[in-house]
Amino acid sequence: MDNDTNQQILQELRKLRKTSQWTSAAAVLALLAICIWAFIRVPPRRSDPWSSISAAMHQYDYRKALKLTQEFLAAHPDDYYAHGYLGYIYLQMDDLAHAEEEYSRSYELWPSEDTQKHLETVRKRKQSEASKQK
């Protein structure tokens, strides 16, 4: 091959390299635009009410946990888990009468061994406290 042919080939390769660089840059920008569009289009998630209740419990803010659980139960009155959780909150607040009531309601809605054990624990504690007062 002569020198002119080599120069032509080199010139064509340089053009091809520039075109390839522009194509790669355009592809990266397009991918970035798609990612941004997808991020913007995703609707915001509603927070899970249990995460707020659990956070209040971890902070020992039983009044807040009580309020949030009662609000949840107003919208979902037959949620056995919420009644059981409310029983637990009342138990932590030493309100044994309400704890027994909520554990009983939870057991009515979904009879489970765990709920029955919690209910028995509350009843034994009530009996123990009643006998101490005599």
Per residue in 66-121, pLDDT (tens digit) is 999 999 999 999 999 999 999 999 999 999 999 999 999 999 999 999 999 999 99
| pLDDT above 80: residue 43 | no
Query: How large is the average pLDDT for residues 119-133?
Result: 92
The pLDDT of residue 46 is 57
**Residues 65/83, Cβ–Cβ less than 8 Å:** no
Q: Domain 49-129 class?
A: mainly alpha
**Residues 78/66, Cβ–Cβ less than 8 Å:** no
**Residues 89/80, Cβ–Cβ less than 8 Å:** no
Cα–Cα distance between 61 and 110 in angstroms, integer? 27
The pLDDT of residue 6 is 78
For all residues of the chain together, what is the average pLDDT?
Answer: 88
pTM greater than 0.85: no
Per-domain boundaries in the chain: 1-44, 49-129
**What's the one-letter identity of residue 106?**
S
